[in-house]
Amino acid sequence: MLNLVIGLVIFFGLHSIHIFAPEWRDRNMAKSGAMRWRIRFGLISLLAIASIIIGYMQLRPSPIWLWYPPVWTHQISAVLMLISFYFAAAAIIPGTKVKSMIGHPLLIAIKVWALAHLISNGTLADVILFGSFLIWAIVSFAVARRRDRAAGVEKPIYIGVHMDLAAFVLTMVCWFAMVFFLHKLLIGVSPLV
């Protein structure tokens, strides 16, 4: 449990700097250089992710069940993950309608991803892991939207339907790969069972 919590604290601490201390981040990035800042940020993030994975895997053999999700929650989660993948694809591909409307679709993707996993998993480790991601994404999205409005940041320009189609194709490829192959390979559990 300790590895999981430490990893989450470090990960969210790093990824919340832009929320709570953007000026400090900008000063340090200017002082040390953007590339050096990104390398340090990336390495510490990888260590945090490794700690999260190790902590989560340590808790899997003897889970503490808070509730036993019904089997049908797996199908709901699969549909929610399709939505999550679309928001993530819309964040990656420039000029999509979703990105021009929302401005921060990756945070929406994280919220939906976390909710999908909370619905279909009932252990304490799942609640800590996915619940913390859900709370962080909700706070980050609210702060980012408020900051964008206050600063007069314009949302990205919508390029055209071909960018939406590209996001849709990327969504379907990633979703099918994850649901029918990668989730079982990487996590050890089929999402549809």
Q: For all residues of the chain together, what is the average pLDDT?
A: 93
**By CB neighbour count within 10 A (0-12 exposed, 13-18 middle, 19+ buried), where does 72 fall?**
exposed
pLDDT of amino acid 155: 83
Closest CA to 143 of 11, 7, 31, 16: 16
Binning pLDDT at 50, 70 and 90, where does residue 94 land? Answer: very high
> Tens digit of pLDDT for each residue in 110-155?
999 999 999 999 999 999 999 999 999 999 999 999 988 888 888 8
- For the cut 80, the answer to whether the pLDDT of residue 24 exceeds it is yes
The predicted model scores a pTM of 0.92
